[in-house]
A = this chain, B = another copy of it.
Amino acid sequence: MSWYQKTIRLQPYPRGFHIITSQIEREMPEIRELKMGTAHIFIMHTSASLSLNENASPDVRTDMEAHFNKMIPENAPYYRHTLEGPDDMPAHIKASLLGSSLMLPIKNGRFYLGTWQGIYLCEHRDHASGRNLVVTLNGE
């Protein structure tokens, strides 16, 4: 029975959806110690989020950004929280819709994902600095 926990600093990413699977794998070599368990990946922010989605066609990431911008527009007339810029309130809404954490199964020392699944950083701000993740592994 083992626990591992680490804070990972991501570089600044432009607004949009980005695959970060291999960086997380690289920073958590301890996962190889676990035959069975779970990995919790948590983002410590309220204007960016994490999701799992297709790791192949980059068009999926572009279309996700386009659709979220339409579904949660900037400058909606009912927004009151506008002081930090037009991208701020939509970023908060997107963050709650997509979620602040992922839970992944671990099997035989690796994230046990489907063939097409990759970990997305969903950056909702126009000019974010880097983001902090907390990864917690638990298993045996």
Q: How far is the CA of A89 from the CA of B64 in the complex (A)?
A: 8
Q: Are A112 and B93 in contact (CB under 8 A)?
A: no
Q: Are B104 and A117 in contact (CB under 8 A)?
A: no
Q: Are B100 and A98 in contact (CB under 8 A)?
A: no
> Taking A3-B140, A40-B38 as contacts, is the C-beta distance between A93 and B81 under 8 angstroms?
no
Q: Are A60 and B40 in contact (CB under 8 A)?
A: no
Report chain B residues within 8 Å CB of A136. Answer: 36-38, 105
Contact with B along A97-112 (1 / 0, CB 8 A): 1111111110100001
A63 adjacent to chain B (CB < 8 Å): yes
| Beyond A57-B81, A66-B78, 13 additional pairs, beta carbon < 8 A | A44-B113, A45-B117, A46-B52, A51-B96, A59-B81, A62-B80, A63-B93, A67-B76, A67-B93, A99-B99, A103-B103, A105-B136, A107-B134
Q: Are A54 and B92 in contact (CB under 8 A)?
A: yes
Q: How far is the CA of A136 from the CA of B51 in the complex (A)?
A: 19
Contact partner of A89 (CB less than 8 A), chosen from B40, B63, B80, is: B63
Q: How far is the CA of A127 from the CA of B109 in the complex (A)?
A: 33
Q: Are A100 and B72 in contact (CB under 8 A)?
A: no
